[in-house]
Chains A and B, each alone.
Chain A
Amino acid sequence: GQQVMQIPQYQHVQEGEDFTTYCNSSTTLSNIQWYKQRPGGHPVFLIQLVKSGEVKKQKRLTFQFGEAKKNSSLHITATQTTDVGTYFCCYISGTYKYIFGTGTRLKVLA
């Protein structure tokens, strides 16, 4: 089945540096969601984007949905050790199916 590709697969940053993960689809998406999974934990919903070009912010996190609704990004400003984890994008295919990206694992070095 179709999967949304995320890049990079892994990212190591020094604490205080910025981090960005990208989610790319070959088809137009109706919406996109972002989840965070801490090591050993379960995915936790962060946000949903629906509109073309939409930008939403949550403290140090900025989420964008591309104008063509085929890509999305999550940017973290001044990373902290609490940002460690894997970030997944996800879209809804049809009515019920949630399709997750492959994820970006972030490691923050203190």
Chain B
Amino acid sequence: DAGITQSPRHKVTETGTPVTLRCHQTENHRYMYWYRQDPGHGLRLIHYSYGVKDTDKGEVSDGYSVSRSKTEDFLLTLESATSSQTSVYFCAISEFASNQPQHFGDGTRLSIL
């Protein structure tokens, strides 16, 4: 498996609190992605990065922000968590854009009460 570490693996928090999820890679891949996975919706792209300090929105970006200050780290922040953001969050990386497979981390299970 590709060297991708997500932290924390599990988190329970309360509505209104800020939450930051971290994705760390050791593959030196340029592209990094955050997805959320919910029953019946498959994987939906939240934000992605195509280089250090270069990020863009995916299809479900409202309520989320990201930062990438180093090639190896991609952070996902929920500024004020809501119950609708309870989900499993996956980070993925790919070496090049287009026609390249994505490699996924093990996921973070986030529960917001």
Contacts and interface: CB of A to CB of B under 8 A. Distances in A.
Interface of A: 1, 3, 6, 9, 30-31, 33, 35, 41-45, 48, 50, 88, 90, 92, 95-103
B42 A45 contact: no
Nearest to A89: B42
Interface residues of B, number: 26
Given A31-B99, A90-B43, A98-B102, 4 more contacts: A6-B42, A43-B43, A96-B48, A101-B42
Nearest to B106: A42
B22 interface: no
Contacts of B56: 96
Interface of B: 31, 33, 35, 40-45, 48, 50, 56, 58-59, 90, 92, 97-99, 101-107
Contacts of B35: 100
B101 A102 contact: no
5 contacts: A97-B45, A98-B33, A98-B92, A100-B35, A101-B42
B101 A45 contact: yes
* A3, A41, A43 — most chain B CB neighbours (10 Å): A43
A45 B102 contact: yes
A96 B97 contact: yes
A95 B43 contact: no
Contacts of A50: 99
A103 B103 contact: no
Contacts of A31: 99
Contacts of B58: 97
